[in-house]
């Protein structure tokens, strides 16, 4: 087995490691600030804003009690608008998550993480159609219908 590639970039107050995954839609990052390391699974999510958004789901092992499990982070086209759901962003208008997303975009790393599929359109038959097919195939009609 070959060694996994890990990319590193400096962000405000620390650094971020990015590791692409062979599984579509998933990458992992480690945000390093001071002595704290926090690991997240990341996946791009659809956004109605002009820009790109990512859901960062924090590793259970790195979560503090009462902390949310994931943060949705947005960086607008050109990097001018930034949003994150975390308390740090609400207070300071910047945070390690949006700094991380900017690093992911600037380095082209996010394009190594194919967008998460929001909904897979399925064309499944209805229960009524299934019943009709069963009757056509010789089964008794459903006596409970």
- Give the residues lining the site for Zn ion (CB under 5 A): 84, 86, 89, 95, 97
DSSP letters, 80-132, are --EEE-SHHHHHHS--HHHHHHHHHHHTT-GGGSPPPP------PPPHHHHHH
Torsion region of 46: left, alpha or beta (phi above 0 gives left; psi -120 to 50 gives alpha): beta
Q: Which is nearer to Zn ion, 54 or 113 (CB)?
A: 54
Q: How far is the CB of 69 from Zn ion (least distance, A)?
A: 13
Q: How far is the CB of 30 from Zn ion (least distance, A)?
A: 15
- C-alpha 25 chain-centroid distance: 7
Q: How far is the CB of 96 from Zn ion (least distance, A)?
A: 6
Torsion of CA 114, 119, 125, 126, to 10 degrees: 170
The Cα–Cα gap between 126 and 100 comes to 45
Q: How far is the CB of 89 from Zn ion (least distance, A)?
A: 4
Q: Which is nearer to Zn ion, 5 or 80 (CB)?
A: 80
Q: Which is nearer to Zn ion, 98 or 109 (CB)?
A: 98
Q: Which is nearer to Zn ion, 102 or 109 (CB)?
A: 102
């Amino acid at each position: 087995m070959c060694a996994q590639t890990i990319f590193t970039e400096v962000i405000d107050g620390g650094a971020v490691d990015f590791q692409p995954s062979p599984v579509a839609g998933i990458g992992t990052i480690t945000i390093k600030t001071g002595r704290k390391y926090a690991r997240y699974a990341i996946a791009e999510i659809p956004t109605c804003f002009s820009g790109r958004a990512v859901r960062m789901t924090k590793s259970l092992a790195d979560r503090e009690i009462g902390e949310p499990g994931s943060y949705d982070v947005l960086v607008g086209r050109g990097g001018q608008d930034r949003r994150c759901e975390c308390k740090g962003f609400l207070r300071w208008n910047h945070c390690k998550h949006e700094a991380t997303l900017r690093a992911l975009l600037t380095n082209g790393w996010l394009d190594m993480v194919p967008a998460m599929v929001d909904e897979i359109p399925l064309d499944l038959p209805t229960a009524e159609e299934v019943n009709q097919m069963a009757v056509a195939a010789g089964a008794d009609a459903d006596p409970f219908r």
